Amino acid sequence: MIVEAREDIAEEAARLLSEAMENVVSLDVPLVAEAQIGKTWAEAH
């Protein structure tokens, strides 16, 4: 998933998105969502 956000809120947006994706359903195994921040897709990986 690629999401655009202003630089001043990028960290908060990443945290909120990861939290939402990890807690979308209750499962017996944990869901892990890792957010990366970069100006380009390549920079974020």
Q: What are the pLDDT digits (tens) for 1-45?
A: 999 999 999 999 999 999 999 999 999 999 999 999 999 999 998
Query: Structural domain boundaries of the chain?
Result: 7-44
pTM for this one?
0.81
Query: What is the rounded CA–CA span in Å between residue 21 and residue 10?
Result: 16
Question: How far apart are the C-alpha atoms of 45 and 32, rounded to whole Å?
Answer: 17
- Three-state DSSP class for residue 26: coil
